[in-house]
Structure 1
Amino acid sequence: MINLKKLPLKKEHIDKLAEYGLQNIPSEACSCMRFSSGEEVLREGSPISWLSIVVDGRAKVCRTAPNGKSLILCYYISYGMIGDVELMTRQEIAASSVIAITYFECIVINYQNCLTELKTNIFFLNKLGTELAEKLYKSAESFTSSALYTGEQRLCTYILQTSHRGHFSDILTDVSCSVGLSYRHMFRLLGQLCEDGVLEKRESGYYILNRKELIRRSHTAADSPDIVK
């Protein structure tokens, strides 16, 4: 974990732990962590000995290829766990990087003081299993998207998933890798979306002007036509 900013837990944090059946774990094993946009929450290849529960904010999860390019695996939007895959596969090294893209807050649980609780708490293990299954489903969905949908559909879906309050400002080289498009083709599609009044280019990124049309052009609409009605 990078740039540690430990804070004591508040009532809302205890309530969040209770959602996972972990309200009774030792207080010394937990702390609240806060990150600003752009800060690393976790670095791929670094040691990991903790589990984190997202409280608020959004962070991108990515993996780096040998050529240095980053592939965005998924986004957390105010829910979910970080480090669950490593916990269940007994990996001591982080399999991917986690980077805050908005203000990001999470509860960190150190394995050292409560590993037995994490491995024997049935309520928690059921919750963990459900979230791992959801990640597997999203992974399969991502593969299907790459195989079956057009570049415009993939890009529009990506913008919908990663925008914050109508603002899309991700690193475009990362975006092109994540949606399986060349940078040039992706940039042409962004230009067309701006020309059509769906997006507006500003210094800080792109703003969604016509969300309904963006949804219509995404593969979300292809899967569920009624969503834009």
Structure 2
Amino acid sequence: MKEIDNEPLMQQLISESGYADKFSADVIKHTRLFQVAAGDYIVREGSLPGWLFWLARGRTKLYVTLANGRVSLVDFFSAPCFIGEIEVLDETHPSRAVQAIESCWCLALPVKQCRSLLINDAQFLRHACLGLVRKNFRNIVTSTRNQAFPLVNRLAAFILLTQHDNVYKEKHTQVAEYLGVTYRHLLYVFAQFSAEGVISKQKAGYLILNRGALMRLAQEMEPGITLPGY
């Protein structure tokens, strides 16, 4: 992750993403611009974030390390949304790892300098709470789908959600846990997709050969669903 000094681009992202509307206070003068390459971390687990991030462009994933040392995939964030708002509201909250799926652009406020301003800004608090409600609802929907739909549909949507440049390369163990299936069942469906010419196993992961087929399977769960690349 690196800070970028590009005022025209920052102003463009502020306008495009509705950033300024999330605050009643004047935060633009404190705002910085960061670019995060695919695979880099926006927040590292266990370290108190020094910034409140507004994801203006891109997609990220959230991880948590459990007491037994297992790393679990928890959620996905797509622009626009806050990252690190819980840590602003609660300094004792343990941070979780947030990693970029693709190249991301973030607007950021220094927490130490702006915490008092933020926690006394009713407009920010309202939008932060609404964002947390949406994230919680998304987790409920994911849990419900895990019980209601076959793995073939859920995996199709998951591949489209997490792919980068048409290549999928998530860890099978974490994906099986996230989707609530056995490792063996997950491999069986990957083999099915490969046999049908939907994906192809590569050294770096799986190359998507038929995005349309994956999208049709995903839309059986939610007809109006939109995923990256569509």
Residue 49 of structure 1: how far off its partner (Å): 4.1
With normalisation by structure 2, the TM-score equals 0.82
Per the alignment, residue 39 of structure 1 pairs with 40
Amino acid at match of 2:10: H
Report if aligned partners of 1:35, 1:100 keep a CA contact under 8 Å in 2: yes
Residue pair 1:72, 1:178 contacting (<8 A) in 2 also: yes
The CA deviation at 1:85 is: 2.2
RMSD of equivalent CA atoms: 2.6
Aligned residue for 1:141, secondary structure, equals helix
Task: Confirm or deny that 1:56 pairs with 2:53.
Answer: no
1:47–1:199 CA distance, 2 compared to 1 (3 A): same
- 2:133 maps to which residue? 133
Name the SS of the counterpart of 2:62 in structure 1. strand
- SS of match in other structure, 1:222: coil
Q: Which amino acid aligns with 2:190?
A: L
- Residue 126 and residue 9 in structure 1: after superposition, are their counterparts in 2 closer, same or farther (change >3 A)? farther
Alpha-carbon deviation of 1:26? 6.3
Q: What is residue 117 of structure 1 aligned with on the other side?
A: 117
Contact kept, 8 Å, 2:53 with 2:109, in 1: the verdict is yes
Task: Tell me, yes or no, if structure 1 residue 178 matches structure 2 residue 175.
Answer: no
Residue in 2 that maps onto 1:18: 20
Which structure 1 residue ranges, 5 or more long, are not aligned?
none
Report whether the alignment pairs 1:221 with 2:223: no
Q: Deviations over 1:83-128 (max 9, x none)?
A: 112223x134443111122222212211222223312333333322
Q: CA distance change for structure 1 residues 32 and 163 in 2, over 3 Å: closer, same or farther?
A: same
Sort the Cα spacing of 1:225 and 1:74 in 2 relative to 1 into closer, same or farther, 3 A: closer
Change (3 A) 1:96 1:178: same
Q: Match for residue 81 of structure 1?
A: 82
Q: Distance in 2 between matches of 1:72 and 1:57?
A: 18
Matching of residues 87-106 of structure 1 within 5 Å: 87-88=88-89, 90-106=90-106
Q: How many residues align?
A: 221
Separation in 1, partners of 2:117, 2:69: 38
1:105–1:26: structure 2 CA closer, same or farther, 3 Å change rule?
closer
Structure 2 residue aligned with 1:5: 2
**CA displacement, residues 60-89 of structure 1 (integer Å, 9 cap, x when unaligned):** 11112233332222222232111112223x
- Aligned-residue offset at 1:9: 5.5
Could you tell me which runs of 5 or more consecutive residues in structure 2 were left unpaired when the two chains were aligned.
none
**Structure-2 separation of matches of 1:109 and 1:8:** 15
1:71 is aligned with what amino acid? S
Aligned residue identity for 2:72: L
Shift of 1:178: 1.5
Distance (Å, rounded) in 2 between the aligned partners of 1:20 and 1:188: 45
Structure 1: distance between partners of 2:225 and 2:156: 17
Shift of 1:135: 0.6
User: Partners in 2 of 1:207 and 1:94 — Cα distance?
Assistant: 36
| TM-score between both structures, scaled by the size of structure 1 | 0.83
AA at the equivalent of 2:27: I
